[in-house]
Amino acid sequence: MARKPVSLRDVAAVAGVSASTASRVLNGQGRVSDATRQRIVEAAERLDFQPNALARSLVSGRSHTIGVLAVNAPGAFVMPVLTGATTRLGEHDLSALIYDSHLDRDLLAATVRKLRARRIDGLLVLGDGSRSGMRSVSEGFAVPVVYAYGVSDDAQDASFLHDGRLAGQIAGEHLLSLGRRRIAHITAWDYDLSARARAEGLSSALDAAGVELVLGHPLHGDWSRQWGVRAAQELLASGAPFDAVFCGNDEIALGVYSVLRDAGLRVPGDVALVGMDNMSGMLGHADTLLTTIDPRLNALGAAAADYLVAAIDGGPYEGGLHSVPCTLVLGESTALDPAA
């Protein structure tokens, strides 16, 4: 229980050697006779010796702690990134010192000092998913800094983001593979870089197949279900024929879905539907009503963490955007067997 931790000297004493010899053995360094090695190892095991990480850190200069600066940690989409990153850090035996909402001018300076006082081995900066540039804080640190779920405004910095363009492309290719040719796109405003990336990806897929978007352009609004409802109504009212809709996110898709159903259209029989975010997956549900694109935010966080750790260990550090691939999650809304 409350037995005080055993130190290296204790082990050395039991083994009848000096502390330095014990240290050597336990770290696999210099040459030591097998006999004494044996004694030391046994003693260490018998005493359940745990080298004090604090003392070790003091001499090595490595704290085994990573700083995490988040814009809004409890955000629905940030949490998976944060969780993915911090649990991956744990797998590397690194702890995470998390400061949320400390990126504004007032707090930042003080936070940077705290982080430096802790001698963090690296820093992870988490954005809020908007691709607009985050102010780089890398200058303030002598250790590697990696940005995730947001992009640093300094091209020298490595930024990790889910590949929105790929998402659009996958969605487009999936719908095309189903034989759909009249594909509409309902999404958020074009100045939202996240929306734009998806739209571009969709376009590239359609272009490659020589197919043109229904109405010739996406329908732009916000990210809400309500917008999905209105947009779907507009689409129906336009009279333009369509057999598929790629929606900017699952919320919009659900709005569209309800309108289509109310209009007596079958999904996917008459209209196939693809969303984005894998909302129900995020909630841990197996019911895949909607075919969707999973941005794999957990993997995004983990990838950023891995990259940071590698960089700390002398690995490569490339500035610019690092994209993490998305995956298609099949649901009933594009099921081959059109029961609905």
Q: Which is nearest to 310 in space by CA: 122, 147, 112?
A: 122
- Tell me the C-alpha distance between 146 and 121, whole Å: 12
How many other C-beta atoms can be found within 10 angstroms of the C-beta atom of residue 140? 15
Q: Which stretch binds a copy of itself (CB under 8 A): 23-31, 183-191, 222-230, 310-318?
A: 222-230
Least distance between a copy of itself and beta carbon 279 (Å): 6
Angle at 166 between CA 296 and CA 84, to 5 degrees: 15
Give the helix, strand, coil percentages of the chain, each rounded to 5.
45, 15, 40
Q: Specify the residue, 45 or 212, whose C-beta has the smaller distance to DNA.
A: 45
Q: Specify the residue, 60 or 238, whose C-beta has the smaller distance to DNA.
A: 60
- The partner residues of 327 in beta bridges, in order of sequence, read 294
Find the helix or strand (DSSP H, E) in which 264 lies. none
Least distance between DNA and beta carbon 93 (Å): 14
Q: Is 68 exposed, middle or buried (0-12, 13-18, 19+ CB in 10 A)?
A: buried
Least distance between a copy of itself and beta carbon 144 (Å): 12
- Tell me the C-alpha distance between 36 and 24, whole Å: 11
Q: Please identify which residue in 17, 25, 40, 75 interacts with a copy of itself, judged by CB under 8 A.
A: 75
- Tell me the C-alpha distance between 141 and 111, whole Å: 12
Amino acid identity, residue 197? A
Does residue number 30 form part of the binding site for DNA (CB under 7 A)? yes
Six-digit token string for 260: 């289509």
CB 271 within 8 A of CB 246: no
Least distance between DNA and beta carbon 197 (Å): 45
Which positions from 2 through 61 interact with a copy of itself, judged by CB under 8 A?
2-3, 5, 48, 50-55, 57-58, 61
Q: Which stretch binds DNA (CB under 7 A): 50-58, 148-156, 231-239, 290-298?
A: 50-58
Six-digit token string for 75: 């955000």
Which positions from 85 through 144 interact with a copy of itself, judged by CB under 8 A?
86-87, 89-91, 93-100, 113-114, 116-119, 139, 142
Q: Among a copy of itself, DNA, none, what does residue 211 contact (CB within 5–8 Å per kind)?
A: none
Please report, as ranges, the residues that interact with a copy of itself according to CB under 8 A: 1-3, 5, 48, 50-55, 57-58, 61, 63-65, 68, 70, 73-77, 79-80, 82-84, 86-87, 89-91, 93-100, 113-114, 116-119, 139, 142, 224-226, 251, 279, 282-287, 298
Please report, as ranges, the residues that interact with DNA according to CB under 7 A: 5, 7-9, 16-21, 23-24, 26-27, 29-33, 35-37, 49-52, 55-56, 58-60
